[in-house]
Amino acid sequence: MAFFPIIISGGTGTRLWPLSREAHPKPFLALPDGSTLITRTYERLASLDGAERMITVTNRDLLFLTADAYADAKAPELANEYLLEPAPRDTTAAIALAAIHLNATVGPDAILVVMPSDHLVHDQAAFAGAVERAVEQAKSDRIVTFGVTPERPETAYGYIETHGTEVVSFKEKPDEATAAQFVESGRYLWNAGMFCFRADTMLTAMGKHCPDILDGAQTAYETAKHSDLMGSSVLEFPMDPFSGIEAISIDHAVMEKTDRIACQKLDCGWTDVGSWTSYAELLPPDENGNRITGTVVQENSSDSFVHAEDRLVGLVGVSDLLVIDTPDALLVARRGHDQAVKGLAKQLSAQGHEAAKLHRTAHRPWGTYTVLEEGSRFKIKRIVVKPGAKLSLQSHHHRSEHWVVVSGTARVVNGEDEILLTTNQSTYIPCGHTHRLENPGILPLILIEVQTGDYLGEDDIVRYDDTYGRP
């Protein structure tokens, strides 16, 4: 039952703002048990019998976050390959690239099992059985979509109308009354956005139903840049011609049109954790129906969800609330209105607000930095560099930097000099100086950086050399 797992990771999960941000989206959110959705997805697929190398379709900004998440997975280790899109173009382009790649490197009968990176499955055995049946269906030149038996009327999911294993129609997200009719009829399944097919079956269907997308993906594939990073094969596609590919879902481009489609029922405790209500359901309620993470005190309050990170949160005399508190943003919403949270995220993005893109703590290939305080002409950061990692060789046009080592050892290039710093030692990087920070030790390097200057934006970086291939 050999097949190739394909993980598609590109969405931002705006309904889970403020935890989900553009630069640290939903798949990388910490779940109540400390794991992440993308790590759980990797574990789920890598543990299946017959799984060959793992292929992830994502973008360069998420490449190293993804690699770190996979390194944390408790699953059989597979060879990893990454296909990096320069711009989001929905699922059709992503699936086209994966099918083209496997058709070229394995052959037309390579079987792909395509999964989003941000779903949860609680019954691994039932999931494995459904995948095994889907692979057998795919061998017979069928494109298999997975449908989940609905547990309730749900307006946030699309539906698949079925007759046995045949697909009758796809339905968009319904209103509540229509969703109730779907569930009562017994003919409809939730559309899980998971697929299984042979490479040649999908490429033939795309050639018939969306040839322009297929042609664009093929041209992008032929002009891709190949590299090896962290022991993994990476294909990076150029903006031109990729940016000209139509952004459309695979359901609209292919599934609703092809006559080669089949449906595999999935009864495995599936959820897409697509809202704060579904996230809260991962936690047990207390005696008042409250679900809580962090330090929370409450008086005469019930049926609320509170996520508290750094601060104490108190509730008095309230019910049916969602309270998500992060270091730089607070969300308060009434339960039942959480689907509208994405509207807030879109407003912030349109305004160019930093809270749409970044957390106070930002992840980089070499580690993390946390903005502790900033004001006119200054910014203070806590920087953590992983053992053996180093930042790019760089300079800044508008700022100077002061570094103080809190713990660990720092190797610093500062202009023509190279020095070693240990705990309580410091150095000053004048504006315009070429510099680099490296952790040569086996423990994390922690330092405080104080920036001063006229402009302190993250884009004031000129890179001369970078271990991680960033431009």
Same domain, residue pair 24 and 162: yes
Whichever domain contains 155, its CATH number is 3.90.550.10
Same domain, residue pair 191 and 292: no
Domain ends where: 213, 236, 271?
A: 271
In a domain, 244, yes or no: yes
| Bridging pattern class, strands 261-266 and 143-148 | parallel
Number of Cβ atoms within 10 Å of the Cβ of 119: 20
Same domain, residue pair 176 and 301: no
Same domain, residue pair 385 and 298: no
- Are the CB atoms for 318 and 301 separated by under 8 Å? yes
pLDDT at res. 310? 87
Same domain, residue pair 257 and 327: no
Same domain, residue pair 321 and 212: no
Whichever domain contains 429, its CATH number is 2.60.120.10
pLDDT at res. 177? 94
Same domain, residue pair 167 and 304: no
Same domain, residue pair 183 and 52: yes
Domain ends where: 218, 249, 271?
A: 271
- Are the CB atoms for 449 and 380 separated by under 8 Å? yes
* 215 backbone dihedrals φ, ψ, rounded to 5°: -60, -45
Is there a cis peptide before residue 241, judged by omega within 30 degrees of 0? yes
Same domain, residue pair 149 and 38: yes
pLDDT at res. 1? 67
In a domain, 351, yes or no: no
pLDDT at res. 76? 86
In a domain, 377, yes or no: yes
In a domain, 345, yes or no: no
| Bridging pattern class, strands 270-271 and 120-121 | antiparallel
Same domain, residue pair 151 and 38: yes
pLDDT at res. 264? 96
Number of Cβ atoms within 10 Å of the Cβ of 426: 13
How far apart are alpha carbons 332 and 410 in whole angstroms? 42
Q: Which domain holds residue 400?
A: 360-465
In a domain, 348, yes or no: no
Number of domains in the chain: 3
Q: What is the mean pLDDT of each run of 10 residues along the chain (471 residues)?
A: 92 91 93 93 96 95 93 89 95 98 97 96 96 96 96 91 92 93 94 97 98 97 91 92 94 95 95 92 96 96 95 96 96 92 94 92 94 95 97 97 98 95 97 97 97 94 90 76
How far apart are alpha carbons 228 and 236 in whole angstroms? 11
In a domain, 440, yes or no: yes
Same domain, residue pair 118 and 225: yes
Domain ends where: 271, 293, 309?
A: 271
In a domain, 349, yes or no: no
* 137 backbone dihedrals φ, ψ, rounded to 5°: -65, -40
How far apart are alpha carbons 183 and 160 in whole angstroms? 11
In a domain, 347, yes or no: no
Same domain, residue pair 108 and 238: yes
Phi-psi region of 91 (alpha: psi -120 to 50; beta: other; left: phi over 0): alpha
